[in-house]
Structure 1
Amino acid sequence: MSENRELTKKNQDFMFQFKKLLAQNTKLDGEKIDSIASEVEAKLLATQGQGQTATQLFGTPTQAVQQYLDPKKTAKKLFDFKFSTLAIDTSLAIFMLFALVFGLTLFFSKNNRNQGAGIISLLLIAGLGGSIYTAVVLKLTPNPKAPEQTNSRSRRWGYLIAAMVAWILGFVVLGMLPAVINPTLPAIVYIILAAVAYLAFRWNRQRAGLKGGFFAISQLSQQARLEAAQK
């Protein structure tokens, strides 16, 4: 078994917690624990040079243990989710971020009625951004359910550029909406909306079994790319 000193500090911490959780399972003997730990460590050593962390590969130590002890409860992969679930998750993340930033900007600004974003443009920007980003990630990530993918590098770049142009144009156009239909709300309202969006964000993830960081779709895409590269 490779020694932990060869792992990065973060991966060493991950392995420490992972082994500790494995040892707490009374159904595993020492030999089985060493076998599982060796397999996980080997994967970490093989991928950490590529910038992949233990969290990106396995999630939390608890989730990693679950993958080995109860595969049926293993977290879903990118293409196991519906487009709508991923788009809503990403849109809510964008809305939370923008609403909080606008709320704080307005709160600490003296001229707080002339700054920030109108509520309609904020809603549409979040929805547009979340949908475009989700569509691009799904298009550019290798899909094991569709093995015969013929997207050339130029075509992938075309998707990315088209998405960026659509996002920029949408942002500019929505930012030009007149105040009469796109009012700027008080700072506290934006902060409250950010909190409400967070609750919806957590509910959507629990309902769908979606796990990961702030932008879960990015982590899922990284995992899918790594699995495709290992085949």
Structure 2
Amino acid sequence: MTKEAAQQAPEVPTVDIEALSAKLSNKNADYLFKFKRALQAEGISEEQQTAMLTEMLPEMLTAQHKGQPANQLYGSVTVKINSLLHAPKAPVKTSIQLQMLDNGLIFLIMYLAINGISAYFAKGKVTGIGITSIVITAVLAGVIMTYPMRYTQMPKDQRPPFWKMALIVVGLTLLFVAAYGVTILIPAVLNPVVPAIVQIVIAALLIGVRIYLKRRFKISGTFFG
């Protein structure tokens, strides 16, 4: 919970804070004193302090009866304050479309780099692969890789049957093979072989594009994390 969220939290039923505080042991009373002082230092309103104490005091007394002091129940005052006011936000789950985009870029970078470097050192001994073929196969590879990765990232109780995921991956793989075969038949005018050095430069530029998109949209859970 952030400081702002804490200040906007809904009202909770009140208890007799003074009466409950009086029942605390000396050790717990000292913990409560430091806790309240830390809340004041954070600028937390009286209403929010009351709401927090309303929740904490019954818990502290229950634990106290079991011989567990507050510093064992909650950790240090600093730890408790941080858990209430500065807890990290839950990460936003990356959409499947963004994961496909990132995976597709990864494969496009790899295909361009590998194809470009191979053609460069071959010195014209091979014709190379057309740019249209490279782009189509990279896109399909990105899509295919995303599904099994999403599957492994899902909680086990939410995963679809394994056979269903296997059928999807097999189907997409067959589509990948068929698509690659079709791209070979594309006329050279629509599937030109880009010079090796150009492919390498494009691959390098796409690395920068991927880094930007990954940071801009906080993409996670993809082929390279």
What range is the shorter-chain TM-score in?
0.5 to 0.7
Which residue of the partner structure matches residue 185 of structure 2? 176
Counterparts of residues 1-231 of structure 1 (less than 5 Å)? 71-72=87-88, 76=92, 80-111=93-124, 114-138=126-150, 140-141=151-152, 143-144=154-155, 147-149=157-159, 151-211=160-220, 216-218=221-223
For 1:72 and 1:160, locate their aligned partners in 2 and report how far apart those are by CA, in whole Å.
35
Which residue of the partner structure matches residue 44 of structure 2? none
Structure 2: runs of 5+ lacking an equivalent: 1-70, 76-85
For the Cα contact (< 8 Å) 1:120–1:182, is it kept in 2?
Answer: yes
Over alpha carbons, which structure has the higher Rg? 2
For the Cα contact (< 8 Å) 2:120–2:197, is it kept in 1?
Answer: yes
For the Cα contact (< 8 Å) 1:102–1:116, is it kept in 2?
Answer: yes
CA-based RMSD of the aligned residues comes to 3.0
CA distance 1:122–1:82, shift in 2 (3 Å):
same
Report SS of the residue matched to 1:132. Answer: helix
Report SS of the residue matched to 2:128. Answer: coil
CA distance 1:92–1:166, shift in 2 (3 Å):
same
- Letter aligned with residue 193 of structure 1: I
For the Cα contact (< 8 Å) 2:94–2:218, is it kept in 1?
Answer: no
For the Cα contact (< 8 Å) 1:116–1:184, is it kept in 2?
Answer: yes
For residues 144-172 of structure 1, the C-alpha deviation after alignment (integer angstroms, 9 at most, x for no partner) is 4x9555x3333232222212212221222
Structure 1: runs of 5+ lacking an equivalent: 1-30, 36-69, 221-231
Report SS of the residue matched to 1:96. Answer: helix
Across the two proteins, how many residue pairs are aligned to each other?
A: 144
For the Cα contact (< 8 Å) 1:95–1:194, is it kept in 2?
Answer: yes
- Letter aligned with residue 160 of structure 1: V
For residues 90-143 of structure 1, the C-alpha deviation after alignment (integer angstroms, 9 at most, x for no partner) is 01100110101111111111225x4221111111111121122213432x3363
> Runs ≥4 in structure 1, deviation > 2 angstroms?
73-76, 135-138, 140-144, 146-149, 151-157
TM norm structure 1: 0.53
For 1:168 and 1:188, locate their aligned partners in 2 and report how far apart those are by CA, in whole Å.
27
